[in-house]
Structure 1
């Protein structure tokens, strides 16, 4: 699923130069309305798929309708908000074996470049910092839509996905070959500021 947090910028550029300015701007994630999700999935020893999410995160994106490649996104995640729907497992995920939240309470993503891929898609390349390790990752993003909302604001939404190797971010627990990677999915709705 090629979807990255700011790939949607691409389709907006196609709307036309006459309307470009009405889409450009800085968009804050809708944390109050909770119209945002970061979920993950990973194989459990090759026998089943484990799903979870991070309940608390915030961020913003800047969209440049005239030059979508100049857009950007920043995200900050509260790692202690990990939620796999099982209290004991979540306690283990917060421990030194995995996220080590006492030492690393936040994970961050900051884009470094946007590569427009098509009408509604783009690759968002940036630096993901997790457990104190920073590595370049690429989010495959797709714009879901944009426009006026019922409350007098202007919104834009994106879905994005990436896959990371646990060992690349210093996570020491080895769950076997089937569980080496985790897929992260991000869905955000931003309100223009």
Structure 2
């Protein structure tokens, strides 16, 4: 599968350059549905439209003693957009928004981690969406880590970011109240 090969290659490269002998490698637990990528955008300035992407994958390295050496990469299947409304989702997949036939994946690859203390960090990275790559910053928080009931070890993070639709070439103009989309992440990784 093209998506898995890409993610495996990016994760491997990121982990090789992590720069810490104490970092651990994790795969994001999407199979157990313990990770989420959600979004919200204003609807005409009157309410919020919420949605999510049901299919994505990736991994990260994490060194609790040296968080700045951590890395993350994620690939999102844009056709998996789900706003709980079939007709709207069909429109979101069209050339007005995601244009999934031409741009089947969106990706994020970290370039730098800025440790803010108390388990908080600014994750700088390159976000590619609709074929456009731009730097973004995810405000992240370490949710926790430890052994799981199945004999494994996990670490989890939450994060938020936002971007303007026009910055990524989204042609549909939804009006001034809906220029920006907010992204919410909850990522749980299983130690390899």
Q: Which residue is equivalent to 2:165?
A: 166
Q: Which residue is equivalent to 2:113?
A: 114
**TM-score, normalised via structure 1 length:** 0.87
Q: Which residue is equivalent to 1:65?
A: 64
Alignment of 1:1-193 (within 5 A): 21=22, 24-193=23-192
**What displacement does 1:176 show?**
0.6
Which deviates further from its counterpart, 63-72 or 39-48? 63-72
In structure 2, the gaps of 5 or more residues are: 1-20
- Higher-RCO chain (CA-CA 8 Å, sequence separation at least 6): 1
Separation in 2 of the partners of 1:100 and 1:169? 12
| RMSD between aligned residues | 1.1
C-alpha distance after superposition, 1:35-60 (max 9, x if no partner): 01000000011111100000000010
Moved over 4 A (4+): none
**What displacement does 1:68 show?**
1.3
**TM-score, normalised via structure 2 length:** 0.88
Separation in 1 of the partners of 2:48 and 2:92? 16
Separation in 2 of the partners of 1:64 and 1:183? 28
In structure 1, the gaps of 5 or more residues are: 1-19
